[in-house]
Chain A
């Protein structure tokens, strides 16, 4: 198990939580479609890879990332091409024969023509082609289509084309999901590093995704976190006492695997120079980890999706909490007055901050604090001051 902090993890680098996979298979078996929900860097993409790598026996699984697509047309074209990909088709040959034959034949018909045009040289309608394909194949295995960064695609389309186009794409997706012929044989799983729900809510289109079953990818439980950290250290030749692991996790509190990886990476670096772990080494590792702006900056940039006023308000809320460590909700109300922001918008923003993994009020509903001291300290040093 290698220490990987940033890139999605795969294969033996993935720390498995079997119960999560079971939640997912339950929904798939009951014919639902899934929206993976989690703040940034919690492990959505890694989980999709896990599905790709482990569910291939029973299902035909394909992972598609569409974040580079900036138009509806480009989106469908990408989907179509990923299905036509040699490698994907190759994996089908002796387990999903019908699909394999079908895809092969489509490939042949388009092979000669470079710009992928059919006989009458009209450009292909990829959306239609995709849908026809899904309807017509009668595969022996269910197809799981995972769309990562789908929310980014929607955002791209809003920016480059129009809100209407984005809405239309969401609608078509919903129609596809509700088409029995398709739904019988196909499961969609969506995810994205910006929350699909908030992107969609911004354009008042929540109704187009409310049929999706949300699966929250939660942070690790303490036991998982401990076992994971231990394993990560062991496999990387770092001798560490259990008490130090506990100390390290205390610096994280909100156990997303990314933070554990981040600290393990810094500990390893120090260990290479002096093979010893103790609390002061961990303190230094924390300090070094916090100096890598790129690992935290997205927390600040995420706020850019709010309105200008909202952004200023959100920043001040977070800065206040980062300074005082915990803040009562009435103090936040004072800020609402100060910033002359609408009550409803302020509420929305606090909700988003909770939802996106910045803060929580789970101990006492009136008291807000950061999920993780790591982010709190980073925020305090880099944004608040």
Chain B
């Protein structure tokens, strides 16, 4: 099995070696070509079009930016004058336009030292001038002209930056974009700009928008095949041949987002929880961005998003209205907003619309973060994946082998043990004994290392039934009812009828 480290490379394209990276660039070729061809054919003596690649997290923006950088550097003609400048992840925190140019200058003097030595200092000479922000760019442009170079500025999360700069600076940037022929920007962005709730000057019109669509079935297969080792490729071939609908399910349920798809696929294929661990890390990394996204919404919308996210499955307007205690009409109006902001997606079912959180990865994040422990919602996403991926029989097999690894004392991630174990049990497909044994082993495994998690393990069905029986003997029917209701609330037993076990 692969090591944690190598597995992580899959999800963070910037960390892969160039060779491995290029080998694995098998999808979105046509998007790359669209931009690259235009870079090749552009007339660099006049201001050019700029680009923004829009896609959810994990949709492949960073990958495309890296691919562009590499191919421009490899291209004989372009590399003579067009220098890629790639902003790193943290640089999206840049809040001022002049800081942006400073970052560019800094990059130039580090990466193209022979040509641009000292350019940042040259720029900063003007730092005390009144109109430093303007001079900043004109200085940079002068140097570029002098050296006969153009820049390809690659900025991930460009929306973060554009949203932060002040109105005057937006005007300055507009003016620069309109008049300067010194650079082309290619940005990556997770949101459509209409999500910025109050931009007034439409300066995004200088950008050509390129939307990353969900992967097709064939693309999904191609991607999964190329990412793993030989052993994994074989497994995929086997699945494609025998149960292709699984890949289709995976694709649909992840919205065809490459990274989410690969990650969940790995969680199924692997047994040791490395992939799961990676998932947790990535969820941690996206936390600030996702938090911002929620905070940006007005409270009513936050509440609706919360309701739908915790439900994981789609909800109708009526259901949302009931849960939020709002009027259906009011909910409808709000849903329109959410659709506009591309936060939810809707599906028409008869006359009704069913709403779902569009970005499934965001939904997973939301559940893992805000779903209560000891509550089905927290692991609901995984339950659904398991149910769609495995047959009931296979689920039981999986539970058994999972348990034997616990008993065996394999080195497993605690969060993984907790989440996977709970999810397996919530599938409702495990036999009474199998489920009970699983929970017992989970407790035994978790108690010494993480008492907190151990405490949150839900009771097995067998334990519940025993408890009910004791109450029955004591004739405490009211308590049985409460117990029954609490079980119903979690709907843990679609396959097994509780009542049949009650004497």
Could you list which residues of chain A lie within 8 angstroms of chain B, going by C-beta atoms?
Answer: 2, 4-8, 10-13, 41, 45, 49, 63, 65, 67-68, 70, 77, 86-87, 114-115, 149, 152, 156, 265, 269, 272-273, 292-295, 297-298, 301, 304
**A292 to B52 CA separation, bound complex (whole angstroms):** 12
Stretch at the interface among B192-200, B306-314, B369-377, B405-413: B192-200
A10 touches B30 (CB 8 A): no
Q: Is the Cβ of A10 less than 8 Å from the Cβ of B47?
A: yes
**A148's closest neighbor in chain B, by CB?**
B178
Closest to A114 in B: B129
Q: Decide: A8 and B168 in contact? CB cutoff 8 A.
A: no
Evaluate contact between B33 and A272: CB separation under 8 angstroms.
Answer: yes
Asked if A6 and B46 make an inter-chain contact with CB atoms under 8 angstroms apart, the answer reads no
Q: Which of chain A's residues has its CB closest to B30's CB? A: A272
Chain A hits for B177, CB < 8 A: 7
| Known contacts A4-B49, A12-B43, A272-B30; A68 and B168 CB within 8 A of each other | yes
Interface pick from B34-42, B73-81, B287-295, B425-433: B34-42
Q: A7-B49, A68-B172 are in contact. Are A298 and B205 (CB under 8 A)?
A: yes
Cα-based distance from A41 to B202 in the complex (angstroms): 12
A374 CA / B202 CA spacing, docked (Å): 19
Please determine whether B178 and A65 come into contact, CB atoms closer than 8 angstroms.
yes
15 A/B residue pairs, CB under 8 Å, sorted by A: A6-B207, A7-B49, A7-B50, A11-B45, A45-B178, A49-B46, A65-B175, A67-B171, A68-B172, A115-B129, A149-B175, A272-B33, A293-B194, A298-B205, A301-B200
B48 at the interface (CB under 8 A from A): yes
Determine how close the nearest CB of chain B comes to the CB of A58; give it in whole angstroms: 21
Nearest residue (CB) in A for B170 is A68
A8 to B174, CA, bound (A): 12
Set of chain A residues within 8 Å of B192, measured between Cβ atoms: 293
Q: Is B501 an interface residue (CB 8 A)?
A: no
Q: Which residue of B lies closest to A8 (CB)?
A: B178
Task: List residues of chain A with CB within 8 A of the CB of B49.
Answer: 2, 4-7
A8 pairs with B47, CB closer than 8 A? yes
Contact with A along B438-450 (1 / 0, CB 8 A): 0000000000000
- CB of B231, distance to nearest CB on chain A (Å): 33
Instruction: State which of A2, A10, A301 has its C-beta within 8 Å of the C-beta of B41.
Output: A2
Residue contact B175 to A5, C-beta cutoff 8 Å: no
Evaluate contact between A294 and B205: CB separation under 8 angstroms: yes
Interchain CB contact under 8 A, B175 and A67: yes
B390 at the interface (CB under 8 A from A): no
Q: In the complex, what residues of B have CB within 8 A of residue A13's CB?
A: 43, 46
B179 at the A interface (CB under 8 A): yes
Q: Is the CB of A297 within 8 A of B30?
A: no
Least Cβ–Cβ distance between B48 and chain A, in angstroms: 7
B175 surroundings in chain A (CB, below 8 A): 65, 67-68, 149
| Known interface pairs A2-B41, A10-B43, A45-B178; 20 further A-B residue pairs with C-beta atoms within 8 A, sorted by A's residue number | A2-B42, A7-B47, A8-B47, A8-B178, A11-B43, A13-B43, A13-B46, A65-B178, A65-B179, A68-B171, A68-B174, A68-B175, A70-B168, A77-B131, A269-B34, A272-B33, A293-B194, A294-B194, A294-B205, A298-B202
* B112: interface (CB < 8 Å): no
Q: Does B209 contact A (CB under 8 A)?
A: yes
Q: Is residue B477 within 8 Å, beta carbon to beta carbon, of the partner chain?
A: no
Closest CB in chain B relative to A79 CB, distance in Å:
14
Q: Are A297 and B202 in contact (CB under 8 A)?
A: yes
Within the complex, what minimum Cβ distance (angstroms) separates A216 from chain B?
22
How far is A45 from B206 in the complex, measured between Cα atoms in Å?
13
Contact (A294, B193) CB under 8 Å given A6-B206, A68-B171:
yes
Contact B208 A5 (CB under 8 A): yes
Whether a CB of chain A sits under 8 angstroms from the CB of B238 is no
A294-B202 contact in complex given A5-B208, A115-B130, A269-B34, C-beta closer than 8 Å: yes
**Which residues in B have their C-beta under 8 angstroms from that of A149?**
175
Q: A272-B30, A272-B34 are in contact. Are A294 and B171 (CB under 8 A)?
A: no
Closest residue of chain A to B41, judged by CB? A2
Hey, which chain A residues are within 8 Å of B202, CB to CB? 294, 297-298, 301
